[in-house]
Amino acid sequence: MNHSGVRHIDVVVIGAGQAGLAAAFHLRRAGYVPDRDFVVLDHSPRPGGAWQFRWPTLTYDKVHGMHALPGMELTGADGDRPSSEVIGGYFAHYEQTFGLRVHRPVSVLAVREGDGDTPWTEPVGAVGGGRLLVETSEGTYAARALINATGTWDRPFWPRFPGQDVFAGRQLHSAQYPGPEEFRGARVVVVGGGTSAVQQLLEIASVADATTWVTRRPPVFREGPFGEEQGRAAVALVEQRVRQGLPPRSVVSVTGLPMTEAVLRGRESGVLERLPLFERLTPTGVAWADGRTVTADTVLYATGFRAAIDHLAPLKLREPGGGIAMEGTRTLRDARVHLVGYGPSASTIGANRAGRAAVRDIRRLLAGGPRAGYTAPDAAGSLAS
Q: What is the 3-state secondary structure (H, E, C) of 313-338?
A: HHHCCCCCCCCCCEECCEECCEEEEE
- Alpha-carbon distance 368 to 358, whole Å? 14
Q: Name the residue among 213, 233, 214, 211 with its Cα closest to residue 222.
A: 233
- The total of other beta-carbon atoms located within 10 Å of residue 210's CB is 14
Q: What local confidence, expressed as pLDDT, does residue 380 receive?
A: 39
Write out pLDDT tens, residues 266-310: 999 999 999 999 999 999 999 999 999 999 999 999 999 999 999
Q: What local confidence, expressed as pLDDT, does residue 351 receive?
A: 78
Write out pLDDT tens, residues 325-347: 888 899 999 999 999 988 766 66
Band of residue 2 on the pLDDT scale cut at 50, 70, 90:
very low
- Alpha-carbon distance 299 to 294, whole Å? 11
Residue 337: strand pairing partners? 146
- Alpha-carbon distance 199 to 201, whole Å? 6
- Alpha-carbon distance 295 to 283, whole Å? 9
Average confidence score pLDDT of the chain? 85
- Answer for the pair 341, 354: CB distance below 8 angstroms, yes or no: yes
